[in-house]
């Protein structure tokens, strides 16, 4: 099994940390993992993306241009990366702020209204956990328990009290993801 | 049980240094490697092992602090990125001449000039051909994974003291910035005074009664004396070439085409080899781990088997010159510059042209 | 009394300190370096710290200081002695670490390193020899060269518009909170030499207290660079240098 994922959005949306939790969850399942950010000088608001690879084998290239799954969190990323999904792969997106919707019909397309859900929950910071929940519901490469473990391992102890809130967001993402288009 | 972590290449350098009993780190912030000093400052090793960590006023000061620490037999290091490493060349040639051991980590960025922070391998010439003035070489290690970023810290210190020479880890920004699973090393205590006197009898530890005072210098005004110093250095480099060459040969022996690549590019090329073999083209990857000394003999062995060679680099063509020195001029080159990384498909196109 | 009797050990009044090696120095007649080397060596001997002293020498005329001092020494790149000493001191806190630099080395090319080492309050002794000229390279302008002073690169005299002003680096350093003792001395008379020795000793004693950087400037002569006889060089120094570089303590905490 090898799963190659790109997560792309604005800096500040938690793109990098979402990738990190996913990579950590992979380690919990004894997988080989790599996490490669597009590193830029922007601290806030610029575009950020991260490539995460989970595999049962040693990972060769940490840099790819075709992915099994692309998670898109803003319009710029949609414009840039819709074409980067492998045929038969999966595009997962948040419709918030999207004006030009995906048109490909050789890939699976799922949507998660994570921005809206996060705002409704009164805690916009859990946005990335909602998206992660949606991703895990769709692809199932890691289990909920691995994500829980990943949070415990990757967060400093003083943030552990926030784990239930994050896992709640994760579960809501799992439940509310919509399958918009499925290839045969 | 060994501790497994998910860490950035840069972060693990800091952790590995602490665990290997490094005595001191002296550095100056520069992207894309600032995480090394930041991680050390968060970890506060001075409370744990007594390791000194100091943010210097410049890269010039950093490398000269390293010179001072090494003079007293301590295991010291610095890290920087390309423009900062250029500033350190003065210190490095002095250290090579004074035969002082140290570890320098260069997480390369795109140049020349201030350039960009994107990944690059444009400092190959500077690293493997000396870099500063005079006839000298550094041992140059090129990690391709976060695990090797961890492992080469200890290897670097060992080689530095074995040969009394500066050792450079030449890293592209990708390996510095990426996170992977890494098995961390066991904690080793820093050397005691007795161990320093045993492992580095040349070090400045204070004059002993009855023994002459020691000094560290790179100044030899007498011409024939300086020639002897040079001959000694060259003899040392010859031993390195015989004993310290390290490389990974991935399926080169049954391949028709051998890609020579180091660092993260070698990993991208592993993907290329896989894609090529799916299309029936037999491709292997030779990854030098030591860039100095260079795996010349292995390349010559493969050349004798009639293989075609291509060097793939994040540069305008630097390592390819060493490949050509080894196997002759018929070596193809493909590279990207400016911080741009070629995709596997892009490199595959180049391979197809060679068939 | 016969000569043979006079040189018996029990009649010895003053001798060479054992911390100086038994070899002739390469310095020109009238040069200040030899005197200051001797003073440092005597202080090291008197304090009994020969086995725990590590010196750092500069690029300049005193580059071979390690040939004369019988203590462990490192030769630093031009201007970088304070950085080298920083690491030696931090990694070997039980050692007495000193730097020895001239005006070109410390106040010109090494200006950043000395400022920052002093500003960090490194527990080191800084000895600064200011003779307002580059000696080793053949008498060019130093940052401390006086206005109007003729050197190989100011053949018509130092002029502010062309060459900038003499740098009073010791005054700058005295303002840095990391320094605990900043003084300027000279070595032109026996009395001045005694004062300089006392200053150097105080600086080394400060290392024991660990309260910051101790800094001793010695205004010196360069008879060859100034193209004067040793005696006239001393006179020229008194007439011209002391006005810009007055002798005395600038800071003593």
Q: Residue B162's domain is classified under what CATH number?
A: 3.40.50.970
Contact call for B267 and A61, based on CB within 8 A: yes
Q: What is the pLDDT of residues A94-103, one digit of tens each?
A: 999 999 999 9
Do B279 and B161 fall within a single domain? Answer: no
Residue of A nearest to B178 (CA): A36
**Domain span at B253:** 248-354
The answer to whether residue C71 neighbours chain B at the CB level (below 8 Å) is yes
Q: Residue C10: its pLDDT value, please?
A: 85
Chain-chain contact of C74 with B216 (C-beta, under 8 angstroms): yes
Q: What pLDDT does C15 receive?
A: 84
Which residue has better confidence, A33 or A184? A33
Q: Could you tell me which chain A residue has the CA closest to the CA of B341? A: A63
pLDDT beyond 90 at C245: yes
Domain assignment present for residue B152? The answer is yes
Of A54-68, B235-249, C74-88, the one with minimum mean pLDDT is: A54-68
Enumerate the residues of chain C whose CB falls inside 8 A of the CB of residue B218. Answer: 75
Q: In chain C, what percentage of residues exceed pLDDT 70? A: 100
Q: Are residues B275 and B178 in the same domain?
A: no
Residue C12's pLDDT is 83
Give pLDDT, residue C9: 83
Option in B178, B271, B345 nearest A35 (CB): B178
Residues of B with Cβ-Cβ distance to A27 under 8 angstroms:
4, 6, 181
Shortest CB distance from B71 goes to which of C50, C70, C74?
C74
Chains A and C touch (3+ CB pairs under 8 A): no
The model's pLDDT over B1-46, given as tens digits with 9 standing for 90+, comes to 689 999 999 999 999 999 999 999 999 999 999 999 999 999 999 9
pLDDT at position C7: 81
**B4 in helix, strand or coil?**
strand
Task: Return the residue of B nearest to A33 by Cα.
Answer: B180
For β-strands B331-335 and B308-313, DSSP reports them as parallel
In a domain, B230, yes or no: no
Residue B311 lies in a domain: yes
Per-residue pLDDT for A111 more than 80? yes
Q: What are the residue boundaries of the structural domains of chain A, listed by start?
A: 2-181
Q: Provide, rounded to the nearest whole percent, the portion of chain A with pLDDT above 70.
A: 95
Residue B143 lies in a domain: yes
Tell me which CATH code domain A2-181 carries.
3.40.920.10
Strand order across the beta sheet in which C125-130 lies: B215-216, C72-75, C53-57, C96-102, C125-130, C213-219, C179-186, C248-252
Strands B283-288 and B247-250: antiparallel
Q: Which DSSP string corresponds to B210-229? A: TSPPPEE-----SHHHHHHH
Average pLDDT on B160-171 reads: 98
Q: Which of B4, B117, B271 sits opposite A60 (nearest CB)?
A: B271
For residue A46, what pLDDT is reported? 66
Domain holding B338: CATH number?
Answer: 3.40.50.920
B160 with B30, same domain?
yes
Give the pLDDT band (50/70/90) at residue C118: very high
Does position A79 have pLDDT exceeding 70, yes or no?
yes
Nearest Cα of chain A lies from the Cα of B108 at a distance, in angstroms, of 14
pLDDT of A132 higher than 90:
yes
Number of domains in chain B: 2
Sort residue A140 into left (φ over 0), alpha (ψ -120 to 50) or beta.
left
Cα radius of gyration rounded to whole Å, chain B: 21
Indicate the pTM of the whole model.
0.94
Does the structure show a pLDDT above 90 at B171?
Answer: yes
Q: Are 3 or more Cβ–Cβ pairs between B and C shorter than 8 Å?
A: yes
Interval B102-131 mean pLDDT: 95
How sure is the predictor about C231, in pLDDT bands with cuts at 50, 70 and 90? Answer: very high
Report chain A's C-alpha Rg in angstroms: 15
Cα angle, residue A114 at apex, residues A110 and A116 outer, rounded to 5°: 125
* For testing contact with chain C, the best of B68, B69, B96 (most C CBs within 10 A): B68
User: Hey, are the CB atoms on C87 and B215 less than 8 Å from each other?
Assistant: no
Model pLDDT, residue B317: 98
Please give the share of chain B, as a percent, with pLDDT higher than 90: 97
| H or E, element range at B16 | helix B9-19
- Say what percent of chain B tops pLDDT 70: 100
> Which pLDDT belongs to residue A153?
87
For this complex, say whether ipTM is above 0.90: yes
- Picking from C67, C49, C63, the residue whose alpha carbon sits closest to that of residue C102 is C63
Q: Is B209 among the domain residues?
A: no
Domains and CATH numbers, chain C: 25-252 (3.40.50.970)
The answer to whether the CB atoms of B68 and C84 lie below 8 A apart is yes
Q: Are both B252 and B172 inside the same structural domain?
A: no
pLDDT score recorded for residue A155: 87
Q: Does the structure show a pLDDT above 80 at C1? A: no
Selected for mutation to probe chain A from B179, B263, B274, B276 (highest A CB count within 10 Å) is B179
- Boundary residue ending a domain (B176, B193, B210): B193
- The answer to the question of residue B199 being in a domain is no
Mark whether B14 and B95 lie in a shared domain. Answer: yes
In a domain, B211, yes or no: no
B128 in a structural domain: yes
Which residues of B sit within 8 Å Cβ distance of C? Answer: 23-24, 26, 52, 54, 56-58, 60-62, 64-69, 71-72, 74, 76, 90-91, 94, 98, 204-209, 212-219
At residue A40, the pLDDT reads 57
Chains with at least 3 CB pairs less than 8 angstroms from chain A: B
Q: What pLDDT score was predicted for residue B10?
A: 97
């Amino acid at each position: 099994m090898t799963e190659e994922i790109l997560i792309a959005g604005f800096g500040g949306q938690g793109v990098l940390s979402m990738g990190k939790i996913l990579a950590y969850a992979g380690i919990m399942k004894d997988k080989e993992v790599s996490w490669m950010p597009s590193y830029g000088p922007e601290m806030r608001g610029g575009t950020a993306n991260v490539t995460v690879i989970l595999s049962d084998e040693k990972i060769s290239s940490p840099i790819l241009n075709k992915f099994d799954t692309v998670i898109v969190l803003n319009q710029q990323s949609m414009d840039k990366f819709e074409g980067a999904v492998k045929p038969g792969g999966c595009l997962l997106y948040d419709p918030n702020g999207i004006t030009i919707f995906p048109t490909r019909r050789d890939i699976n397309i799922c949507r998660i209204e994570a921005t809206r859900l996060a705002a409704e929950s009164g805690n916009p910071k859990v946005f990335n956990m909602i998206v992660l929940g949606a991703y895990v519901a769709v692809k199932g490469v890691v289990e909920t328990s691995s994500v829980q473990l990943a949070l415990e391992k990757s967060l400093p102890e003083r943030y552990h009290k926030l784990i239930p809130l994050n896992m709640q967001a994760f579960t809501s993402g799992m439940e509310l993801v919509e399958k918009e288009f499925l290839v045969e | 049980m060994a501790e497994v972590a998910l860490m950035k290449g840069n972060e693990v350098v800091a952790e590995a240094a602490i665990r290997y009993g490094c005595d001191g780190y002296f550095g100056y912030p520069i992207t894309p490697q600032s995480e090394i000093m930041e991680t050390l400052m968060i970890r506060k090793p001075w409370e744990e092992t007594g390791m000194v960590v100091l943010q210097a006023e410049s890269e010039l000061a950093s490398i000269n602090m390293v010179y001072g620490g090494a003079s007293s037999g301590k295991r010291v290091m610095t890290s920087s990125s390309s423009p900062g490493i250029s500033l350190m060349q003065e210190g490095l040639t002095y250290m090579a001449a004074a035969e002082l051991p140290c570890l320098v980590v260069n997480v390369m960025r795109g140049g020349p000039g201030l350039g960009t922070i994107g990944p690059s391998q444009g400092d190959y010439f500077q690293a493997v051909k000396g870099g500063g003035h005079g006839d000298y070489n550094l041992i140059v290690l090129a990690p391709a994974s976060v695990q090797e970023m961890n492992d080469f810290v200890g290897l670097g210190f060992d080689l530095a003291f074995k040969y009394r020479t500066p050792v450079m880890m030449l890293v592209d920004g990708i390996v510095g910035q990426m996170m992977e699973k890494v098995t961390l090393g066991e904690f080793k205590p820093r050397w005691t005074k007795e161990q320093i006197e045993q492992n580095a009898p040349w070090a400045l530890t204070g004059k002993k009664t009855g023994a002459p005072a020691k000094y560290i210098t790179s100044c030899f005004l007498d011409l024939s004396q300086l020639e002897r110093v040079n001959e000694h250095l060259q003899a040392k480099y010859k031993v390195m070439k015989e004993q310290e060459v390290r490389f990974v040969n991935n399926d080169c022996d049954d391949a028709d085409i051998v890609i020579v690549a180091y660092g993260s590019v070698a990993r991208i090329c592993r993907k290329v080899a896989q894609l090529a073999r799916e299309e029936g083209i037999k491709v292997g990857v030779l990854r030098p781990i030591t860039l100095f000394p260079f795996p010349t003999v292995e390349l010559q062995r493969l050349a004798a088997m009639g293989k075609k060679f291509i060097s793939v680099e994040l540069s305008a063509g630097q390592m390819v010159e060493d490949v050509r020195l080894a196997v002759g001029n018929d070596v193809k080159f493909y590279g990207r510059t400016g911080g741009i990384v070629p995709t596997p498909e892009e490199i595959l196109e180049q391979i197809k042209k060679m068939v | 009394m016969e000569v043979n009797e006079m040189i018996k050990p029990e009649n010895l009044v003053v001798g060479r300190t054992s911390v100086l090696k038994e070899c002739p120095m390469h310095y020109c007649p009238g040069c200040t370096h030899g005197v200051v080397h001797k003073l440092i060596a005597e202080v090291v001997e008197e304090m009994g710290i020969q086995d725990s002293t590590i010196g750092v020498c500069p690029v300049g005329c005193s580059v071979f200081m390690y040939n004369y001092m019988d203590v462990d020494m490192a030769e630093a790149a031009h201007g970088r002695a304070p950085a080298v000493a920083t690491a030696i001191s931090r990694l070997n806190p039980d050692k007495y670490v000193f730097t020895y630099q001239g005006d070109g080395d410390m106040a010109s090319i090494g200006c950043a390193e000395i400022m920052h080492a002093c500003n960090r309050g490194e527990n080191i002794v800084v000895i600064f020899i200011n003779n307002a000229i580059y000696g080793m390279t053949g008498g060019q302008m130093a940052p401390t060269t006086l206005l109007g002073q003729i050197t190989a690169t100011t053949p018509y005299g130092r002029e502010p518009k062309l060459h900038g002003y003499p740098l009073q680096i010791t005054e700058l350093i005295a303002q840095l909170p990391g320094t605990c003792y900043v003084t300027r001395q000279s070595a032109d008379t026996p009395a001045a030499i005694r004062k300089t020795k006392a200053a150097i000793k105080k600086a080394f004693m400060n290392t024991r207290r660990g309260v910051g950087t101790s800094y001793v400037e010695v205004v010196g002569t360069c008879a060859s660079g100034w193209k004067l006889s040793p005696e006239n060089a001393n006179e020229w120094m008194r007439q011209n240098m002391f006005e810009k570089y007055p002798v005395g303590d600038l800071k003593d905490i």
